[in-house]
Chain A
Amino acid sequence: MAEPSTGRADASVSLLLNGEPLHYAGAADMTLLDWLRTGRGLKGTKEGCAEGDCGACTVVVGTLADGRVQHRAINACIALMPMLSGRSVWTVEGLAGPGGSLHPAAAAMIDRQASQCGFCTPGFVMSLAAAAMSDRRLLDRREIGDELAGNLCRCTGYGPIIEAARRMGEIARPDWESERLQREREGLASLAVATGATGEQPALLSGQQPMAHLPSSLDELDRLLASRPAATIVAGATDIGLHVTKALRPLGPQIHLDRVPELRAIDVAAGRLVIGAMVTYSQAEPVFAAQIPALAELVRRIGSRQVRNAGTIGGNIANGSPIGDMPPALIALGATLVLRAGGTERRIPLEDYFLAYGRQDRRPGEYVRAVELDLPGPGRLLGFHKVSKRFDQDISAVCGGFNIALGDDGTVTGVRIAYGGMAATPRRASHVEAALAGEPWTEATVARACDAYVADFTPITDMRASAGYRLEVARNLIWRVFHESRHGPGATRLVGPDATI
């Protein structure tokens, strides 16, 4: 399926695989993992779940931006081949140095005896390698846990792997690695010229139906969507990927938003935050940490490093899931959704986008362009709380966003509260809000507000939680907010930077 590079640029995906330029001209819904294993015979990258939850298929993807290559770990099992156009892919096989010398990530894992059955090991090695390639040293235990949250190991209990992550930082980066990364940068630059990924023309995968389009401007995207309103819009594919691997659903023509620069921008200006639809969680994390610190811990707990490297804020909204974690937070923050079609944009309150389960206010040919919000001013009580069976890389049973303004006299002068996991869509708790508005922020008021939850929500029982638990926890989260407003977060947090336990 893949031919050695001949400089041909049309109708194929050009990429670097372990440093070598290749063209891929197969099916557009081929996953990177299947291509590596069956197309390239690279069996070091493993399939553990084919849904982006175990990390055994972790590879490193290099992207050229502003003359520098950014390296990030992703799950190959749910990455679609068109996404790799103009990218560099490193697998565990490509990590070794000359004469089979070990990359520090592999050397550290061996040194700390961090493998038992070994099936997950290449994935861990690649997650560590991604950090090394990004010149990040992993020292702090929480940072390591976060970096490796998307890699499951069933044998070791993780202790020696955590030690390996620390050990890697002590191993000198070999010269051959920097030389290799230099060659990668050059290779990506020439790919960009050859494929026109600099902006002149879209890369197009049409060798077999269905095809994939990679528009590189908003106008081009508008035109494509106007002519193909039924096309599948692909953002980070952390959800769409499962349509391929689990639902076995034909995707039809794909339109990838990844190459549209206007969608990738995240801007803060005049107290307003504008997040392009294709901004990944990983890109947004430092911005949130600086602008809305209370939100950073929630974003950290969305998916795993691999998922946050691929998944986008826009995708999390657009797919309309009732259990996405960003919508309740953004609704509480009063976000506005910008939708665009045919060059025309309209703005709606984010909560109005979610009409019913599986149904959103998105017209044919329309797509999520951005989400905008006013940065909350000082003196606000902000809380974003996710409750799940596992802290890391789990889907919420309940997720609550709280944005409460208090007047000088301690009365509630403004309130926005929204929940995920409590209804068929992310939804505001309007009766609860009404019970709080204008009232003194006291225990008695909060207790009264708790009575209003049944008017707002009738949650369901599923494999994540029972209806009763959801309702109780939804109420208890506002107690957490109240308690923290009086005593600070140290006495209520088990995880995150505020935990003192």
Chain B
Amino acid sequence: MSDCDPGSDPQVIRGGVREAVPHDSSRKHATGTAVYVDDIPEPPGTLHVALGLSEHAHARVTDIDLEPVRSAPGVVAVLTAADIPGANDVSPFAGDDPMLATGEVCYHGQPIFAVVARSFREARVAARLGRIAYQELPAILTIDDALSAQSFLDGTDPPYTMSRGDPDAAIAASPHRIEGEIRIGGQEHFYLEGQAALAVPGEDDDVTVHSSTQHPTEIQHVVARVLGLADHAVTVECRRMGGGFGGKETQGNLPAALAALAARITRRPVKVRYDRDDDFRITGKRHDFLIAYRCGFDAEGRIAGIVFEQAARCGMSFDLSMAIADRAMFHADNAYYLDTARIVSRRCKTHTASNTAFRGFGGPQGMVGIERVMDHIAHHLGRDPLEIRRANYYAEKSQLQKGERLLTPYHMTVEDCVIGELTAELEKRADYADRRAAIRHWNASSPILKRGLALTPVKFGISFTLTHLNQAGALVHLYTDGSVMLNHGGTEMGQGLYVKVAQVVAEEFQIDIERVKITATSTAKVPNTSPTAASSGSDMNGMAARRAARAIKIRMARHLASERQADPDEVVFLPGRVRIGEAELPFVEAVRECYRGRVSLSATGYYATPKISWDRAAGRGRPFYYFAYGAAVTEVAIDTLTGENRILRVDILHDAGKSLNPAIDLGQIEGGFVQGAGWLTMEELVFDDKGALRTHAPSTYKIPACSDRAPVMNVQLFERGENVEDTIWRSKAVGEPPLMLGISALMALSDAVAAAGEGRIYPALDAPATPERILAAVNRVRAGSPPS
């Protein structure tokens, strides 16, 4: 058997790799026929759930009176922790996330009891009738609170540190030095589909859970743990999510386990879905950070030594915070070689919802830190920030043999850097230099409105830093009509994973993509899967599916060859047909012949990412298989009277390797940018001094709307991009990296603010750069200046 040679025949299949195949569900999306968990036809007798939530950030529950809840119309059952047969724990691993709080509540909005009722509305009305008495306890709410109270997830251990060389000495010896800090706000996922799960009880104690989740296997484990069952009694299925963004990596555990518990107790199907305000209150978000920096550099802005102290607000439990804070450290360098560096990380334990995964997983916050430093250095030296950025880039892969400027602060060699080349091309495409001059000129004659421009790069490490998660499985059935059923451990949240993997399978068999049926992710089909996260979905599931398809092809080739006294190497899968030596037969005929020849036409495929290793204690290793690169130029304008602002133009060049599907990838890039820019500009989480989230719905929490999309937005794939590693068709992961292109918006705003002053004072603009923060920064840079 050999790979097909497309040159041998002009005919090509529909929907192979590298083709801009539309999302498989696009027609269903637009006609309202795509089914999400809340749309699944409810089995007769389905019950609905609402939660009773804590009204204090930190308190002892002294009395719970749920009689008014029980006697409310439509209520079938009221559940507390006492009703849980197994463990009261929905955490991913640490055992510190009770499903229903007992004794002590640790955040405002923490679930305490659950109401099971005939209708969702009856459940919600009843849930508000619970009478809970609290004895308030001191609450640690903010990063500053936690730092002063020394409240950390990892307790009194010295803070986790990555370092290389002696940055203190390097800074001391540098001709130029800066120091400062930046505050970076959190971010609500605002998946359009809220958390939802439907549990249907089966025979024995079995339960099937339809869950809107990025991690069906973890849902399975958590449901089994809560109900005291073996994993085999629990089947979890997810056809699609209405958005995930990391917010359904662990946050689906509670609703799924609760639905399963209520189904067990009532012996009826039970649906849990969060009302949007409850969703905001209950679930964790992107971690807000405080990053302090000290840096020494030369007259060219080249960094000799740097110290970062990162502090992340993790909330009341571990969730995934340790790995998230680690990834913030891994990206404290972004695309820049740091000759000596120390990165210190404090994981603040607070009485707020447990913050969780969000697209980029800490990487974006780490990257904002170093991009702030670049901006600050440029201001200090009076140079264009782009010059400073270029001066600090890692060596390109073409310069690899020189062996210089390649080592990260975690001692991994960057072997695939293309950021210099990519930046040069983007500068040209975006007309950076001319626009920079034009903006300077324009600002000089515009007293109220000011424009700003910034180019920022992205280098993002691909692989789970928890090495064992880098594995995936797939299941491929080839039926006797030549159609294929495909299943794998990855989940679909809109990112186009299903269609990309289907393209891989269509390509392997050389059949049209319509012949490949994509099926819902299920723990009963592919077991022990990793979350669809870390941008790894296509890389890992694509490889696993290819291996499954190849296993079938190898069996087919052996059989078809032996029937014709040919060598299996002479069997070629051509578009819609198979060639064996000189003979050719339609694909479906080949399949039937194999079936009649008693060849198994079903296979599993398995993939484990090679080359990676990570010694966390030593802070050394190769945590990433490769890096994804990209850069963006963003132009903004601000109103110096109000701080209102607007993104005017965006130019993006992004490296998706040899893209599996350019249409899907461009969608990820553009959407990622807008989500990242939203995080750093208008999306603001406001908590009151009691720890209650005040922005708990889209009326108060503003994500970008249609008109916020820049009027000019040029998004292109880096055509010379190719993965140096042997990934699926040499493509690169594209889920998370583009989010960080949005950092260019924050830096462009900083540039516009600087233009409002005389240049003596650095804007030090924090995120999110809301109108209020921008106006404050404008006032800062104008302080001491004569009024205009």
Contact = CB atoms under 8 A, between A and B. Distances in A.
Contacts of B695: 463
B709 interface: yes
A157 B32 contact: no
A183 B674 CA distance: 42
B86 to A, nearest CB: 32
Contacts of A153: 192, 706
Contacts of A45: 32
A480 B32 contact: no
A391 interface: yes
Q: Name which of A44, A50, A93, A389 has the most chain B CB atoms within 10 A of its CB.
A: A389
Interface string A224-266: 0000000000000000000000101000000000000000000
Interface stretch (A144-152, A329-337, A405-413, A434-442): A144-152
Interface stretch (A79-87, A203-211, A469-477): A469-477
A118 B34 contact: yes
Interface residues on B, range: 35 or more
Contacts of B770: 389
B694 interface: yes
Contacts of B667: 113, 116, 155-156, 160
Nearest to B668: A116
A501 B637 contact: yes
Contacts of B26: 109-110, 113, 115, 118
Interface string A372-401: 000000000000000111111111010000
Nearest to B279: A49
Contact of A46 (B193, B495, B694, B713): B193
Interface stretch (B121-129, B384-392, B480-488, B533-541): B121-129
Interface string B1-33: 000000000000000000000110111111111
A395 B699 contact: yes
A56 interface: yes
A246 B277 contact: yes
Contacts of B639: 492, 494
A243 B591 CA distance: 62
28 contacts: A34-B121, A43-B38, A45-B32, A46-B193, A53-B698, A113-B23, A113-B663, A118-B494, A119-B193, A125-B30, A125-B32, A141-B711, A154-B192, A155-B494, A157-B672, A157-B704, A157-B709, A159-B709, A389-B771, A390-B708, A391-B644, A391-B707, A392-B705, A392-B707, A397-B771, A473-B641, A476-B641, A495-B646
A466 interface: yes
A155 B772 CA distance: 27
B241 A117 contact: yes
Interface string A150-183: 0111111111111000000000000000000000
Contacts of B672: 157
Interface string A24-55: 00000000001000100111111111110110
Contact of B697 (A41, A44, A51, A464): A51
A121 interface: yes
A129 B31 CA distance: 12
Contact of A152 (B36, B240, B645, B705): B705
A387 B644 CA distance: 7
Given A117-B493, A125-B30, 16 more contacts: A50-B275, A53-B699, A54-B698, A96-B31, A117-B242, A119-B191, A119-B243, A122-B29, A142-B707, A148-B706, A157-B673, A157-B704, A160-B667, A390-B702, A463-B684, A501-B451
Nearest to A244: B121
B289 interface: no
Contacts of A193: none
Given A153-B192, A501-B648, A119 B242 contact: yes
A110 B22 CA distance: 8
A465 B695 CA distance: 12
A354 B28 CA distance: 49
Contacts of A41: 41
Given A387-B642, A494-B449, A248 B699 contact: no
Contacts of B496: 116
Nearest to B242: A119
A154 B641 contact: no
B432 interface: no
Contact of B128 (A106, A113, A145, A248): A248
B646 A154 contact: no
Nearest to B22: A113
A115 B30 CA distance: 8
Contacts of A102: 27, 30-31
Contacts of B697: 49, 51, 53, 246
A44 B242 contact: no
Contacts of A118: 23, 25-26, 28-30, 34, 240, 242, 494
Contacts of B243: 117, 119, 154-155
Given A49-B698, A141-B711, A494 B276 contact: no
Interface string B764-788: 0000001110011000000000000
Nearest to B640: A476
Given A102-B31, A113-B663, A157-B709, A462 B682 contact: no
Contacts of B464: none
B684 to A, nearest CB: 7
Interface string B405-438: 0000000000000000000000000000000000
Contact of B35 (A38, A43, A120, A389): A43
